[in-house]
Amino acid sequence: MGAFFWRAKALAAFVLLLWVVQVVNWITGYGFNPAFGLIPRHVSGLDGIIAMPLLHGSFSHLMANTPPLLVMGGLLVATATRALLAVNAVVIGLGGGLVWLFGSSAIHIGASGLVFGWFGFLVARGLVDRSPITLGAALLVGVLYGSILWGVLPGQPGVSWEAHLFGAIAGAAAAFVIRTQVHAPRLGDVNLE
């Protein structure tokens, strides 16, 4: 139980960090975005792979990302025990790397790639692990946030659909590559008779 509270505090601290960065970014006239945002196929934009989730274009942009970060992050905190750092490394590294390689010529910012990565991980992990807990988390995420999948389609100006798409792909890949510890029986191991 102590580890759960430590992970929950880390999630709260991360979300608080996003808000602190947003305030400082706003005060500086959003100077962080061109300096640290992800710029595809430019060496100067490589640091954006890591910095992109920390940067937002407005308070409403961050406000839109905060609830899903808290809900999906809470589900990860509750169910992904020792794998949180590895999952986030894959989502941020692979997802951001794919945006850097294949994204449109723009400055990509925002935590929505992380949100889509967590969504992809939670849904795919339910199918991979098949435990009642992971299937329940996948179902909950699907019901609450299934409509975000429309965000992986191009068409909305100013929205990095590439970060959404590659984040979701990276999250699903993490579910297949990283085995998480959930202390519950797999459905395949449960005798239903």
pLDDT tens digit sequence for 143-172:
888 777 776 677 777 788 999 999 999 999
SS3 call for 154:
coil
Q: What are phi and psi of 156, to 5 degrees?
A: -90, 115
Helix boundaries (H) for the chain: 2-27, 32-36, 48-51, 59-79, 84-102, 112-129, 132-145, 161-177
What's the CA gap between 67 and 41, in Å, rounded?
31
Q: 0.75 cut: is pTM over it?
A: yes
All residues at 6 or more sequence positions from 156 whose CB lies less than 8 Å from its CB, including other chains: none
Confidence class for position 191, pLDDT limits 50, 70, 90:
very low
Q: How many CA atoms lie within 13 A of 138 on its CB side?
A: 19
Sign of the alpha-carbon dihedral angle for 137, 180, 18, 168: negative
Per-residue pLDDT at 190 exceeds 90:
no
- Is it the case that residue 65 has pLDDT exceeding 70? yes
Q: What is the pLDDT of residue 151?
A: 67
Three-state DSSP at 107 gives coil
36 compared with 191, residue with greater pLDDT = 36
Structure tokens at 107: 């400055």
